[in-house]
Structure 1
Amino acid sequence: MPKILIVGGGYAGFYTAWKLEKHLRRGEAEVVMVDPLPYMTYLPFLPEVAAGSIEPRHAVVSHRRHLKRTKLVTAKVTKIDHANKTATITPEGGEPWEYQYDQIVVTAGSVSRTFPIPGIADNAIGMKSIEEAVAVRDTLIGNFEKAAALSKDNPLRKRLLTTVVVGGGFAGIETFAELRSLANSLLEKFPEITFDETHFHLIEAMGRIMPEVSLETSEWVLKDLAKRGAHVHLDTQVTSAVDGRVEVSTGEAYETDLIIWTAGVMANPIVVNGGDLPKEARGRISAQADLRVVDADGNVVEGAWTAGDVAAVPDLTGGGVGGMCVPNAQHAVRQAKRLAKNLVAVIRGEAPVDYVHKNLGAVAGLGLYNGAFQSGKIALKGFVAWVAHRGYHGLAMPSWERKWRVIWGWVHNFFLGRDTVQLGTTQTPRVFFETYASRPKPKVEEQPAPAAAEPAAVAAK
């Protein structure tokens, strides 16, 4: 059987494997998917996870539960030698080993793209994983709990009640708005804290936010955020974040314990730079419209495929930035579905079909009962857009099992309110046990016996 290796189990990788199971006949090919995580994360739900509106486990999809015929390897692909069709697989705590394949699908996704700004690497957190979203939620709620116990003239109180988000794209605005919404709901439970004491700042280097929507819609979002006490600073750059002191190009500074970085993504550098597959100027693997990898001259690299954020795929509708599909979930899912069909077609000696998908629009959640939607010239705002946001993403969540968990959680929250219990101590689970655990007493070293008196000294006495 031909061996198909899928590198990465995010959107594109998971959907490719899922659809290959549907299209391949039994025994037609062996499919192996390698990813260091045992689940796919539904990234559009991360802001709602951070705001306590979605249970974290409901925003991820288990590989082993939903991929029945795919061999799953929880490890990293650290090297791709496509010239010899060999990949080096490195499990955590184990020795690297090599896997020989016939077809490779690189869907390693993206990571946060940062800049060498002092303090960012040490003090900021991203919004690209479920773990980061949970940590943000726990930190914000935990900061409220700490601040409530401090006097109002304590400088630490202001620091704890200040949140800074860097980046005004969809991820940044949704995170910013959801956290402001969470903070507003927390005020009802913390009478010791007033609304004026909470400070939310979003730093955006460009002159506008949310470039995916019209200027009119983005300006409405700015006004809506301002009404809720959230401050957006346009044409502003972060110059330093040392020790949690965020300094910006306008000369202002904000002391904070929570800095969230959402200012862009880049293709997974470990996979892209750890192999011999061709890449383009922005560091993504080069592909043609049928999702096969191509070299600098446009020649197909036989046996190599790519999709999702790690891939530079031509946007045949003409709507992409620089002629390429933008790195979002909408393209990743649809590319994966087309890739799976094309890969099966090639195995069977048939011709692949180009990927063509016109962007359906953009929808954003801006906190409970508030959102923004843009499709062409059609724009919705407020409650109707929020319903559209939840409806779209609720249906887009893969598998009915996951859909039901998410939607049922929303129903629960409607009647019971969002869950605002923070479990930050799960980051250090053994501290409580270690604090009270009995330890062996240190051994008492035996003192040497006193030396016998010298005969001469005794005689002298």
Structure 2
Amino acid sequence: MPKILIVGGGYAGFYTAWKLEKLLKKGEAEVTIVDPLPYMTYQPFLPEVAAGSIEPRHAVVAHRSHLKTTRIIAGKVTGINHATSSATILPNAGESFTQGYDHVVFTAGAVSRTFPIPGVADEAIGLKTIEEAIAVRDRILGNFDRAAQLPAGPERERLLTVVVVGGGFAGIEIFAELRSLASDLIKSYPELEFADTHFHLIEAMGRIMPEVSLKTSHWVLKNLDERGATVHLDTQLKSAKDGIIELSTGESFASDLIIWTAGVMAHPILKNTDFPLDERGRLRLRADLRVEGDEGILEGAWGAGDATACPDLSGGGVGGFCVPNAQHAVRQGKLLANNLVAALRGEGPTDYLHKNLGAVAGLGLNVGVFQSGKLAITGWPAWIAHRGYHGLAMPSFERKFRVAGGWWNNFWLGRDIVSLEARETPRVAFEEFASRPK
């Protein structure tokens, strides 16, 4: 029986395996998926998770709940040798081992791309995982609790200053969502005032959100300014050492929460493979999602998602390739499953073609933007479109109901503002009173 190995259980990997289960006949192929995490994260919901609008567990999809016939290995692939059709796997528990395959699907995705700026590696946090979103939420809620006990001064100002680096969709969404959260929190803290909170977004380019028109991006800037948030355009972060933000403009201030969203890069595990990579370290693909080397197609090698350089046949991609986003990853995963089954049955593959219908972003409760061609919608209608689109795009009816139910409860009960920072040290309460041998 042919063996299919899927490397990575994110968007593209999960959807590939999910669709394969529906397409493959019994005994037609054995599918294995390898990922160190037991779930797929729906990343467009991370800003709302950080802002307390979505329960964290509702923004992830458990592999074992939906992949019934796929073999699931909790671990990570540390190397791939396609010349011998084998991969080295390090499980979360146990010794490393070698796994053979007939077809390999690389869908390990991307990781945060940073620069050697002093302090960033030690002080900042990304927004690629559900764990990061939870940590951001708990940090801002905990900082409000601490700041409320302090007199006005540098320490309180540091606790209530939030910095986001990167003005793309991810950066603007988390920035606006946290601004919305902070505005709500002020109502619960009589010791604090709105003017005590400070929000700074740092963008090296001269505009934000290149996915929308310049006019729409200007509307977003105006809206953020009216809400008390500051956007620094044409500005670079020079240092974040010890939480002291130093900008290329000469400005300097302290922050206890620095969020990095300034770009992604293909998963570094690709360097431990014999796959052909482009100059940016991405897996080189044909439009039919097969890996393409210097001498043609690599038989039995496939890829999809953020770690790949897939030609964008619609003509709308950057540099001729599909941009790394959820729209492409989900659709590529589904098509990859179809093409894999076609290959197993001796049929020809289909090229990937998806024309971006638009971009939609949530900017906090009741505020959003939508752009499709020259059509732009802002404010409450765009926010409804944002929730509607992503609510429908969330995998499985079970997760759709959980997310929609949370939104419905929040509509009547308000945003949940409970901080669970103590989860990071769960044994403290037990250890403090535990009896010990003399």
Q: TM-score, normalised by structure 1?
A: 0.94
Q: Select which of 272, 279, 282 maps to 2:280.
A: 282
Distance in structure 2 (CA, Å) of the matches to 1:329 and 1:431: 39
Aligned-pair identity (%): 69
Q: Which of residues 343, 367, 377 is equivalent to 1:370? A: 367
> Of 408, 411, 416, which residue of structure 1 is paired with 2:408?
411
Query: C-alpha root-mean-square deviation of aligned residues, in Å?
Result: 0.7
What is the CA–CA distance in structure 2 between the aligned matches of 1:53 and 1:358, rounded to whole Å? 30
**Partners in 2 of 1:363 and 1:181 — Cα distance?**
18
Match of 2:20 in 1: 20
Number of aligned residues: 438
Q: What does 1:214-229 align with in structure 2 at a 5 Å threshold?
A: 214-229=213-228
Instruction: Using the TM superposition, name which of 88-97 and 357-366 deviates more.
Output: 88-97
Aligned residue number for residue 210 of structure 1: 209
Structure 1 equivalent of residue 292 of structure 2: 294
Q: 1:296 deviation in Å?
A: 3.0
SS of residue in 2 equivalent to 1:239:
strand
Moved more, 93-102 or 408-417: 93-102
Q: Deviations over 1:369-407 (max 9, x none)?
A: 000000111100000000000000000000000000000
Aligned to 1:394: 391
Cα distance in 2 between the residues matched to 1:207 and 1:198: 25
| 308, 327, 331: which one aligns with 1:330 | 327
Distance 2:134 2:253 in 1: 23
Aligned letter for 1:250? Answer: T
* Amino acid across the alignment from 2:238: T
Give a deviation string over 1:95-127, Cα, whole Å, max 9, x none. Answer: 100011000000000100000001000000000
SS at match of 2:78: strand
SS at 1:188's partner residue? helix
Residue matched to 2:376: 379
Query: Following the alignment from structure 2 to structure 1, what is the Cα–Cα distance between the partners of residues 317 and 10?
Result: 22
The whole-number CA distance in structure 1 between the counterparts of 2:311 and 2:116 is 30
* Per-residue deviation, residues 402-453 of structure 1 (Å, max 9, x unmatched): 0000001000000000100000110111122122222222xxxxxxxxxxxx
CA distance in 2, matches of 1:246, 1:360: 38
Local SS of the residue matching 2:306:
helix
Q: C-alpha separation between the residues in 2 aligned to 1:104 and 1:266? A: 21
Q: CA separation in 2, counterparts of 1:433 and 1:203?
A: 42
Structure having the higher Rg: 1
What aligned pairs does 1:180-329 form with structure 2 within 5 A after superposition? 180-269=179-268, 271-297=269-295, 299-329=296-326
Distance of 1:172 and 1:148 partners within structure 2: 27
The SS at the match of 1:144 is: helix
CA–CA distance in structure 1, aligned partners of residues 425 and 83 of structure 2: 45
Deviation at 1:92, TM superposition (A): 2.4
Once the two structures are superposed, residues 290-326 of structure 1 have per-residue CA deviations (whole angstroms, 9 ceiling, x without a partner) of: 00000135x1000000000011000001100000000
1:134 aligns with 2:134: yes
Match of 2:342 among 345, 366, 370: 345
- Give TM-score scaled by structure 2 length: 0.99
Letter of the structure 1 residue corresponding to residue 192 of structure 2: I
In structure 1, the residue matched to 2:174 is 175
Instruction: Note if 1:30 corresponds to 2:27.
Output: no
User: For the residues of structure 2 that align with 1:330 and 1:256, how far apart are their CA atoms?
Assistant: 34
SS in 2 for 1:213: coil
SS of 2:164's equivalent in the other structure is strand
Q: Give 1:223's aligned amino acid.
A: K
Which AA in structure 2 matches 1:402? R
**1:64, 1:197 → 2: CA distance?**
46
Report what 1:162 is aligned to. 161
For the pair 1:427 / 2:399, whether they are aligned, the reply is no
Alpha-carbon displacement from aligned partner over 1:64-119 (angstroms, at most 9, x marks no partner) = 00001100000000010100000001012421000110000000001000000010
Q: Which residue of 2 aligns with 1:449?
A: none
Task: Classify the secondary structure of the residue corresponding to 1:69.
Answer: coil
In structure 1, give the amino acid aligned to 2:3. K
SS in 1 for 2:188: coil
Query: Structure 1 CA distance, aligned partners of 2:49 and 2:159?
Result: 20
Query: What amino acid does structure 1 have at the position aligned with 2:234?
Result: D
* Structure 1 residue ranges, 4+ long, deviating more than 4 angstroms after superposition: none
Partner SS, residue 211 of structure 2:
coil
Q: Who is 1:458 aligned against? A: none
Output the CA distance in 2 between the equivalents of 1:169 and 1:296: 34
For 2:387, what is the secondary structure of its paired residue?
helix
Aligned counterparts of 1:149 and 1:438: Cα–Cα separation in 2: 33
Partner of 2:59: 59
How far apart are the structure 2 equivalents of 1:128 and 1:263? 11
CA distance in 1, matches of 2:93, 2:157: 43
Q: Deviations over 1:14-37 (max 9, x none)?
A: 000000001111110000000000
Equivalent-residue separation in structure 2 for 1:241 and 1:440 (angstroms): 46
Letter in 1 for 2:428: V
Determine the C-alpha separation between the residues in 2 that align with 1:338 and 1:72. Answer: 21
